[in-house]
Amino acid sequence: MDFGVIGANIAKLWTNYWHIYILEGVAITLKLTFIAVILGALLGVVVAMFKMSKSKIIRFLITVYIEVIRGTPLLLQLYIFYFVLPEILPIFDFNEFTWVAIALCINSSAYVSEIFRSGIQSVDIGQTEAARSLGLSSGQTMTRIVLPQAVKNILPALGNEFIMMLKETSLASTFFIGDLMTAHLKIKGATYLMLESLIITGAIYLCMTYPLSKLVEAFERKMKNADK
């Protein structure tokens, strides 16, 4: 293995393709990640609320939803949303990107819902009782007292979910929607330089995830110091 040749090939690929495939791939990957995490978080809050419902039927249905999503591979879910749902739900004339984004959002919601549920349950029950004794309704207690504290407690976990989703969007390349891994496949197909293309792609993912992971770690340390 000639590392000099590999280095020269990497420089050549970067020069020739960063503005054609790579930059667009990074943009689509980040767009897909933000959509999946933000909408997944909003849906996750709703799922968490239902999971703590007093109705046994609702809790059962939500539990099934969470276990099915968390218990099956993300790639399988992407296949279902990409190939199956457009056939059985033709009324929803979405493009390929939208179906993939919906699948990632649903997947993220199942994990985020458990994060929110644990965060809500970590808030001292005495604060809820005190709020209710002051005349606040259950909805006001949740939105004004419980959720703000729960969000603070779970922000590091949400940050880790963002990092995980950023990496999991690579599975979307199965459907060639233009993400970073799709860029790798296009470059590999055009040049037959698989190793060099993989190195560039891996380095870009690392450059995106490493600072985020350090930011999450710093935030966790800050929270621990604040609690002392």
What are the tens digits of pLDDT across the range 38-57? 999 999 989 998 998 889 99
DSSP 220: H
Q: Is the pLDDT at 8 greater than 80, yes or no?
A: yes
Kindly report which listed range (8-17, 127-136, 159-168, 179-188) carries the lowest average pLDDT score.
127-136
Please say whether the beta carbons of 183 and 17 come within 8 A.
yes
- CATH code: domain of residue 171: 1.10.3720.10
Please say whether the beta carbons of 104 and 165 come within 8 A.
yes
Domain that holds residue 51: 3-227
| Residue found under tokens 């199956």 | 84
Please say whether the beta carbons of 197 and 98 come within 8 A.
no
The band of 119, judged by pLDDT with boundaries at 50, 70 and 90, is confident
Q: Is the pLDDT at 227 greater than 70, yes or no?
A: no
Q: What is the pTM assigned to this prediction?
A: 0.86
pLDDT at residue 228, rounded to an integer: 57
d(CA 35, CA 33): 5
Q: Is the pLDDT at 3 greater than 90, yes or no?
A: no
Number of domains, the chain: 1
Comparing CA positions, the residue from 33, 23, 38 lying closest to residue 178 is 23
pLDDT at residue 226, rounded to an integer: 62
pLDDT at residue 159, rounded to an integer: 87
Number of H helices, E strands in the chain: 11, 0
